[in-house]
Amino acid sequence: MPRLPGVSQKDAVRVFQKLGYRVVRESGHLIMSNGERRLVIPRHDPINAITMGAIACDAGVTPQQFRDLL
């Protein structure tokens, strides 16, 4: 699993909003959707590197593409 260390929850939300995702629900986690895919983003600061890599893969983004959008 690719790693993305040191990414805060706010930075992750900003990147996914650039990719067309929007916040659908907020609770202990943020739920974001683009109409086809749903992402669950934990409210940690920073988000675990392995978890962030898995979320990026679920969104169809490579770790390098994610870093470029930061």
> Per-residue confidence at 70, pLDDT binned at 50, 70, 90?
confident
Q: Distance between CA 7 and CA 26 in Å, rounded?
A: 19
State yes or no: cis peptide before 46, omega within 30 of 0: yes
Has domain 9-69 been given CATH number 3.30.920.30?
Answer: yes
Q: What is the pLDDT of residues 25-66, one digit of tens each?
A: 999 999 999 999 999 999 988 999 999 999 999 999 998 899
Q: Where are the domains positioned within the chain?
A: 9-69
Q: What is the pTM (predicted TM-score) of this model?
A: 0.88
